[in-house]
Amino acid sequence: MPSGSPALGTGPGAEAAWEERVQRAAHPLAYPALRALRRRPVVRVPRIGVVVNDAATARQVLLDTARFSKVGPGAPSDLWTPVLGPSVLLNMEGAEHAALRRTLGPLFSPRAVRELVGAAGPGGTADLVAGSGHAGSAAQAGPLADAVSRLAEGRTVDLAQTVSALAGTVICGMVGLPPTDAAVRGSMARAQAVTGMVRLHRRGLTRAQVAAARRVLGELTEPARAAYRDGDPATVPGRMRALGLSEREAMGAVGAFVLTGTETVQSLVPRLLAIAHDTGWTGRLLAAGADERRRVVEEALRVTVPTPAMLRAVREPASVGGVDVRPGDRVVIATVNCCRAAGGFDPDRPVDPAVRHLWFGAGPHFCLGMPLAMAHVDAVLDALAPLAAQGLLPRVVGRRAARGVLVPAYDRLDVSCTPDALAPALEDA
């Protein structure tokens, strides 16, 4: 539906209006319900749990793994264990969790994640944009190189689709498939078929959904199982075997990263560039040095909040912000409220230490895949920066929020570099 509303174009309030639309499209029931609670630091909600809207309190809960766990009634284990099995980081605690995390750590080193997104090679990201470099880089550079070329020609590019293709290549890398167009599309579709079942207001999947999710995951990880058994160090499953993971641990890890990481990667970059466009930050972002870029990206993460809510099961009697809890209770950390309490997008605003990186968690469960998400961001921004330096500043000319997704995202984000690119009338409802 065409929209000429100034609030959904650019200018003051545009970023907040579009982010509100993206969040509501993904979670039309849970998101408004969470936001309605935002003025109360901690509140008990019948049949939901104890909802935390204060960043400092949320951080205390996340750091206190003795009393608040990812394993137990109402915790992430209820959702993921039936699908992925008992030995993945999402549903583990204590020494076993720490040991598995240490083992997986080398797969998420800066060099490893750059290679996984195709940004390695003799010329770094320059090779990615040009489509040169080693074979893996060239194969994975295709969608981004094509998008940059089309933008330079004055054509319009759906950046959401481009980033989706990049995320698909990561899935292919994780499961041991060559990143052909068919494999990329198939991997993305399978991953989204599972994550699309998850809703914030439900504690778990139905039996039918679990069966469907396990079937899809089995199809998705079949090549990963073969790659693990071959032990090829050029594949992620092969490296997992070399690191000492059992086949069950490796398949659980692959499944977890594919299902929970894919939509985060797919969501972040388009929303970052949409926010930069709406607030007039695009030029400064694409010209920024490393420190300023990271500050802008982290502020976009604070506003977009990749994980709108986090769940913990109560292990021992405790008090959460003055609200008593006991074993069997569930704590719902409304990350979206904690992170957005400071207001709209403003990279020049000092960051509250209690909020910093809270969108990726805190303590032993801090997101292991964060470097992978940042590598995706850097690859896309590095590719667009030369265009901006030539006066071809990317502008959003059309967009549509995605529905039925776990992580709020744009289903479409049309970008152009032509001087007359700004056309709010093309933006969809």
CB 398 within 8 A of CB 160: no
| pLDDT in the model for residue 238 | 87
Instruction: Tell me the two tokens of residue 395.
Output: 């502008």
Question: Contact at 8 Å (CB) between 268 and 377?
Answer: yes
pLDDT at 253: 81
Mean pLDDT to the nearest integer, 232-257? 83
pLDDT at 20: 94
Residue 328 has pLDDT above 60, yes or no: yes
pLDDT at 198: 67
- pLDDT-wise least confident of 194-198, 215-219, 337-341: 194-198
What's the whole-model pTM score?
0.82
- High-pLDDT (> 70) share of the chain, %: 82
The CATH superfamily label for domain 6-426 reads Cytochrome P450 (1.10.630.10)
State the pLDDT confidence band at 5, using cuts at 50, 70 and 90: very low
Which span out of 3-7, 174-178, 391-395 was modeled with the highest average pLDDT? Answer: 391-395
Ranked by mean pLDDT, the top range of 165-169, 177-181, 201-205 is 165-169
- Which residues, in sequence order, are CB contacts of 145 under 8 Å at separation 6+? 128, 129, 130, 131, 383
pLDDT class of 114 with cuts at 50, 70, 90:
confident
**Residue 1, burial from CB neighbour count under 10 angstroms (0-12, 13-18, 19+):** exposed
Q: Residue 384: which of 304, 305, 270, 306 has the closest Cα? A: 270
> What's the pLDDT score for residue 424?
43
Q: Among 49-58, 85-94, 234-243, 284-293, which stretch is predicted with the lowest mean pLDDT?
A: 85-94
Take residue 189 and report the two structure tokens written for it.
Answer: 């579709």
Question: Which is it for the CA torsion 198, 201, 207, 208, positive or negative?
Answer: negative
Residue for token digits 């959401």? 160
Angle, CA of 411, 414 and 416, to the nearest 5°: 165
The pLDDT of residue 126: 35
**Three-class secondary structure of residue 211 per DSSP:** helix
> 96, 345 in Cβ contact below 8 A?
no
Each residue's pLDDT tens digit, 350-371: 989 999 999 999 988 888 888 8
* Residue 9 predicted with pLDDT over 60: no
Separation between Cα atoms, residue 221 and residue 227, nearest integer Å = 10
Percent of the chain with pLDDT over 90: 42
Q: Contact, 274 vs 18, CB < 8 A? A: yes
Higher pLDDT, 95 or 226: 226
Give just the sign of the alpha carbon dihedral 338, 343, 346, 351.
negative
Q: What is the per-residue pLDDT for 93?
A: 78
128-137, 249-258, 334-343, 402-411: which is most confident: 334-343
Average pLDDT (336-363) is: 92
Q: Which residue has the tokens 């545009």?
A: 14
pLDDT tier for residue 123 given thresholds of 50, 70 and 90: very low
pLDDT range class, residue 87, cuts 50, 70, 90: low
**Cα–chain-centroid distance for residue 272?**
12
**pLDDT grade, residue 316 (50/70/90)?**
very high
Task: Answer yes or no: are the C-beta atoms of 349 and 295 closer than 8 Å.
Answer: no
For residue 214, what pLDDT is reported? Answer: 82
